[in-house]
Structure 1
Amino acid sequence: MDEPYLIMSEAFKKLIGAGGIKIFCILLILISPGEQSTEMRTLTVNRCILLFLGLIIGIQGMAQLVDPDRKPVYQRVFTETDNFGPSYLESLEAALSAPITDSVRTLILYDLAYYWHSRNLKKALQFSELGISRSIRQKDTVWKAKFQGVMAAVLLRMEALDEAMIILREAAQVLPESEKPFLYTQMGYVYERKGKLDLATDYALKTLELGNQLGDERAMAVAYSDLSNIFWKQQKYEQALRYGLESVSLFESRGLQDLDYDFTLYVVGNSYLALGDREQARNYYEHAIAIGERYGFFNNLSDVYISMVDLYSLSNNYEQAELSGVKALEYANLLDNNFMVMRCYLAIGKMQNLQGKYISAIESLEKCIQVATIDFHDSYYLSHAYEALGRSYAGNHQYQEAYAALEMYDKYKNEVFTAEADNRTSVLQTEYKLAEKESTIQEQQYRLQRQQARQTLIIIVAILLFLFLLLLYKSVKSNSRKNRLLQQQNREKEFLLKEIHHRVKNNLEIISSLLSLQSAKINDPKIAEAMDKSQQRVHSMSLIHQKLYKGKSLSSIEMKEYFENLGEHIVNTHGADGRVRVMCKMEPHELHIDLAIPIGLIVNELLTNSLKYAFPGNRPGIIVISLQQIEGIVYLEISDNGIGKSTHTPNTGTGFGTQLIELLTRQLDGKMRLNQRPGTSFTFEFNPPKAA
């Protein structure tokens, strides 16, 4: 097996398994001629792959075109999707009996009528007649006219050109403007087949103009395709190529590969071939063949293979030219289209002339002319047929017959290449060039306008940016001045607040000293003791103000250092240095002054009580203070390891300290708990927001 076959076989083995390979090989045998060059064998394999993939897609994807349980029920072929294979028409035909609405059934019937005309003209005619009858029963004049348009497309390919034009004109009186591009296209085909290229050009231009008005890119693409074909027939190949490439571009922007796109690829290939670019022509032909074989476009396939005969003949590859002729004739017979059959024999006869096989050429060309009956009308191809026949007769030394054939060639040629047709295409060519120049001028003007607008915008943006920067500079400068002023004011206020706290502390110290002096002159022990306690309370508050004016913050106190200083002062006051030690088991923690002062007073009272009652007889001991904040709640605990508080021991004090602790606790919306033995422990819970 050759390398291309081995490569494809391995690829398909991975893709579809051994069973799929068997099917693929059977297809390969069926479509491959016995003797082929390496190049042709590779091409045959490629085409077989496309056919095989088409079958797979047809089997897997066709059921999805019509689904009664889906919206939309019908994914319309070549309008909403092209993801299917050559069996789509059979699937649509089967879907007519499915449980679908009348509107969906009408759409399917219309598509069947239109797309069967690329495969079987008689069947297409049957579906179009069925659609017309159905529309008449439903009294739907618009759908009747649309089916008449399809019927006319079928009839003109069956050589009934006059009948097709009558039906098209009748339909044009009913259909709205949005549906007329299709009718104008078919009218243009009728005149083209009759050799009246000037009128065909007029209808192509009507289609183009209407497509522009409607924003219908497909109608515009078809119009450009028809103009390309007309210019090609007029032997104005460069203009034909321009229109053809414009059409291809519009078709490809739709993202769907349909019948008319396939035909346009063939038309562009013809222009490239006429201009001598055989490689490009072949690329377009092979692309058209791939699409045609995937969807079963027999008409287009026959067209392309006819041109492939000319391509291979010009390359002196007569083996491939003959194979292409056989394929072209095969598709033409499947379509049952005399127009295509006539052109096949014409291509084969021209090829045989180039080979010097004049007797075979005469036989082929006589068949060609015999097929073209009196109703054939197409003067363009008849002129080519008689020209080729004249060459065949001359090559076979039948000069009288050659002269007669060339006379017929002149007759038909003059029918096609009339002054009117030449003038019309020349005018169109001039209009095209003018349109190109106007388009270039407009584009340049548009670029200049855009450049001017861009420059204006840059100037405006630059001015606005300058103004913005100027305002920003002034704003920053003003804010900087304000910030300096605010900082100076803040420093002054901070100094004033510290000075206030300092003076408050000094005043409290004076009060404390006065109380101490007064206490020294009082003989009554109870009064003296009360005075001492008041002096200690004032001192505890003065410590807070001292911390405020010495610390970094003017509104909060670091409590651990405060407790340590307070404890040291109270221990010294009671003469318990070295005997009783105050410990702060806590992390540094700051409290707002509104909470710190009452807590300081509470701790002052409890420390005083512990030193007074917990360690009698110069007994040593430890007082522990802890404070922490958990989830917003402040917990305070003061405990000692003294003798504990006995309920049987009489209270020798005034009870003011206890009342003060209870009052401060309520003020802070707190809770107090007393724990005894061993020692004494007081636990408090405070809520800072409420305390503040």
Structure 2
Amino acid sequence: MDWNSQNPYKKVFVDTDDFDASYLDELEKNLEWINVDTTRFSMLNDLAYYWHTRNLTKAMQFTEKGLRLALKKKNSLWEGRFQITQGAVLLRMEALDSAQTVLALAQGKVQPSDLPLLYTQMGYVYERRGQLGKAADYALKALELGKEMDDLKAMAVAYSDLANLFWKQSKFKAGLEYGLRSLELFERRGITDLDHDFTLYVVGNNYLALRRYEEARSYYEQAVTIGERYGFYNNLSDIYISLVELHAFLGEYGEASRAGKKAVAYAELLDNAFMLMRSFLAVGKMHNAQENSTEAIKSLEKCIAVATENFGDAYFLSEAYRELAEAHARAQAYGKAYVAFSEYDTLKRQVFTAEADQRISKLRTEYDLVKKEGTILLQETQIKKQRALQNLGTAVTVLLLLLLALAYKAITNNKKKNRLLEKQNDEKEFLLKEIHHRVKNNLEIVSSLLSLQTAQMDDPNVLNAMAQSQHRVQSMGMIHQKLYMGKNLAAVEMKDYFEGLLEYILHSFGKQERIGVDLRMKELELDVDKAIPIGLIVNELVTNSMKYAFPNDRRGVIFLALERKADLLVLTVKDNGVGMAGTGTLPSTGFGTRLVRLLVRQLDGKLELRSDRGMAFHIKFQLSKAA
């Protein structure tokens, strides 16, 4: 406040951002000394709008006070501006229909310079309902209006909203492009405000989704600094929710847990069900990443309980049911997992509709096309000034004819090249299949030779070694059989392969009637360089179970699973046999155990061995290094 000035109020986040978190208290303290209506209206509206980042109830009290004063003074312009603020507060109170009604009423009362903010809030209403196409419509309306008025703030916010919508549609590169464009405009404007802070968070989200973790961390840290300086509790809750996910991705579970507590604390300070729901969702995801299904279920059930019937946001609610389904499945509560996954599937179809995806893609295309057309028009104007219209027409005609001739020739050449490439690809595919077929046949010959040689030997140890060698050769031969019989010549579907391998081993030992198989995994394709050593490891471990786990015709079950978790492959082989004393690593004796250790080391893996009601082997491989 500058009491020596004719207009004493230096407007927050417009004229200056040179203040700390006490600015709202200072505004409220000085409000009673203001006698000029327009200045009083402006201060009241800023109090209402920026309190909605800290306390929604107090924000609504200031909004209603401003509306009463505007009606008393018969000032329809400020009545409309207070209604825009009221719409923003109602939106965050989960009253989406009321927010939409109030914003529609405000539209006919305010000036064009107020409309970008109104369109932004209306876009948020549709975004919360999961109608992302409509939300993008309003963001683009705000962008075009901002361009017409050369309003940097309006353009920056519109780009920020588009970046967030692209992120929700899993179009992370486009989201990052628009987010960085928004930040560039905010920096040109020179004012650090609520929307600038939110955009740093949106850019961080897109970097996180692209697995560029350090860049994501940098933007989140900048956003936290601004949020704490000005008391933007809603942004701080958002940021800490994303930091939970970032730390969990990096395996920093202590930091993730601390970030989760802060996200919940800020959501509770704001008394915002949307933020609280998402905070519990982030914590639930973290527990799922830790494979702690009990804690994950607790957090996710809290999350869903917060999301009442009026919650509206199907996007985050679908995420909650997906994580809950995963947690119940891990806890082997398959009935509950099925119910949760059904809810997820229903909600996902509401959000990720083909119409929304096409609308957002079309909007971006339209915007880029308008920008290109503007550039072309400018170039044509400059050419008209330099050349006569007749010369220009002649030049364009000649150029078009030349381009058509070149295009025709290029298309003809491309068709010839494509036919040749298709023929070469067919030939190469045939040759690859033939190679895999011959390798498989040669391995069968090796197996047959081993079998013939075995028939001439009496030493039990030699017979055992020869039999194991046959199994190893057979496991490799089955890989090549899958390759030449499948559609993908470079990869093997492991679930189908394991089914065949386990059936072969059980049959070889004649234990198919006494030993059951529990193959619990989804279809998963691996390239041959990973599939062969993993197949050999499984052959050795299952063979070991056949020989030692079930003595005296004991019945039992062998469990096998291979699943992808982030950048890891996790292989589990266990039985419910007699087990052995102690836990730790494989014994160092025996060719089979040495082979397993060698193959695990080759795949840059880590093996864990447990003996509790049987033997259990857990092997983790780095996907990027497993070769």
> Normalising by the residue count of structure 2, what TM-score does the alignment of the two structures yield?
0.60
Cα deviation for residue 399 of structure 1 reads: 0.6
Which ranges in structure 1 are unaligned for 5 or more consecutive residues? 1-65, 453-692
Partner SS for 1:78: coil
Question: What pairs with 1:56-205 in structure 2 (closer than 5 Å)?
Answer: 66-205=1-140
Q: Among 283, 294, 300, which residue is 2:235 paired with? A: 300
- Mapped to 1, the partners of 2:185 and 2:200 lie a distance apart of 12
1:396 aligns with 2:331: yes
Cα deviation for residue 197 of structure 1 reads: 0.5
Partner of 2:183: 248
Partner SS for 1:124: helix
- Do the aligned partners of residues 229 and 446 (structure 1) sit closer, same or farther apart at CA in structure 2, a change above 3 Å counting? farther
Cα deviation for residue 214 of structure 1 reads: 1.6
Partner of 2:250: 315
Residue identity matched to 1:249: E
**What is the percentage of aligned positions where both structures have the same residue?**
54
Partner of 2:271: 336
- Is the Cα contact below 8 Å between 1:338 and 1:372 reproduced in 2? yes
Cα deviation for residue 335 of structure 1 reads: 0.5
- Is the Cα contact below 8 Å between 1:205 and 1:223 reproduced in 2? yes
Cα deviation for residue 432 of structure 1 reads: 4.6
How many residue pairs align between the two structures? 387
- Mapped to 2, the partners of 1:211 and 1:264 lie a distance apart of 17
Question: What pairs with 1:610-629 in structure 2 (closer than 5 Å)?
Answer: none
- Is the Cα contact below 8 Å between 2:34 and 2:40 reproduced in 1? no
CA RMSD of aligned residues (A): 2.0
- Mapped to 1, the partners of 2:100 and 2:283 lie a distance apart of 32
- Is the Cα contact below 8 Å between 1:149 and 1:171 reproduced in 2? yes
Cα deviation for residue 276 of structure 1 reads: 1.2
Cα deviation for residue 373 of structure 1 reads: 0.1
Encode CA deviations 1:355-381: one digit per residue, 9 max, x unaligned: 011110000000000000000010000
Residue identity matched to 1:355: Q
Question: Structure 1 stretch 245-254 or stretch 288-297: which is displaced more?
Answer: 245-254
Partner SS for 1:221: helix
Partner of 1:354: 289
Partner SS for 2:144: helix
Cα deviation for residue 326 of structure 1 reads: 0.7
Q: Highest Rg: 1 or 2?
A: 1
Residue identity matched to 1:375: N
Question: What pairs with 1:314-463 in structure 2 (closer than 5 Å)?
Answer: 314-434=249-369
- Mapped to 1, the partners of 2:298 and 2:380 lie a distance apart of 61
- Is the Cα contact below 8 Å between 1:68 and 1:99 reproduced in 2? no
Cα deviation for residue 436 of structure 1 reads: 6.3
Cα deviation for residue 438 of structure 1 reads: 5.0
Question: Structure 1 stretch 419-428 or stretch 442-451: which is displaced more?
Answer: 442-451
- Mapped to 2, the partners of 1:264 and 1:304 lie a distance apart of 11
Cα deviation for residue 290 of structure 1 reads: 0.4
> Normalising by the residue count of structure 1, what TM-score does the alignment of the two structures yield?
0.54
Cα deviation for residue 215 of structure 1 reads: 1.6
Which ranges in structure 2 are unaligned for 5 or more consecutive residues? 388-627
- Mapped to 2, the partners of 1:447 and 1:249 lie a distance apart of 29
Encode CA deviations 1:103-132: one digit per residue, 9 max, x unaligned: 211111110000000111110000000000
Partner SS for 1:333: helix
1:210 aligns with 2:148: no
- Do the aligned partners of residues 442 and 367 (structure 1) sit closer, same or farther apart at CA in structure 2, a change above 3 Å counting? same
- Is the Cα contact below 8 Å between 2:79 and 2:109 reproduced in 1? no
Partner SS for 1:79: coil
Partner of 1:487: none
Partner of 1:575: none
- Mapped to 1, the partners of 2:373 and 2:80 lie a distance apart of 39
Cα deviation for residue 173 of structure 1 reads: 1.8
Partner of 2:460: none
Cα deviation for residue 444 of structure 1 reads: 8.0
Cα deviation for residue 101 of structure 1 reads: 2.2
- Do the aligned partners of residues 281 and 443 (structure 1) sit closer, same or farther apart at CA in structure 2, a change above 3 Å counting? farther
Encode CA deviations 1:264-298: one digit per residue, 9 max, x unaligned: 11001101111111111111111110000000000
- Mapped to 1, the partners of 2:228 and 2:379 lie a distance apart of 44
Partner SS for 1:175: coil
1:235 aligns with 2:170: yes
Partner of 2:492: none
- Mapped to 2, the partners of 1:144 and 1:436 lie a distance apart of 36
- Is the Cα contact below 8 Å between 1:68 and 1:100 reproduced in 2? no
- Is the Cα contact below 8 Å between 2:90 and 2:98 reproduced in 1? yes
Residue identity matched to 1:317: E
Cα deviation for residue 174 of structure 1 reads: 1.6
- Do the aligned partners of residues 390 and 140 (structure 1) sit closer, same or farther apart at CA in structure 2, a change above 3 Å counting? same
1:219 aligns with 2:154: yes
Encode CA deviations 1:469-510: one digit per residue, 9 max, x unaligned: xxxxxxxxxxxxxxxxxxxxxxxxxxxxxxxxxxxxxxxxxx
Residue identity matched to 1:379: A
- Is the Cα contact below 8 Å between 1:272 and 1:280 reproduced in 2? yes
Partner of 1:258: 193
Partner of 2:419: none
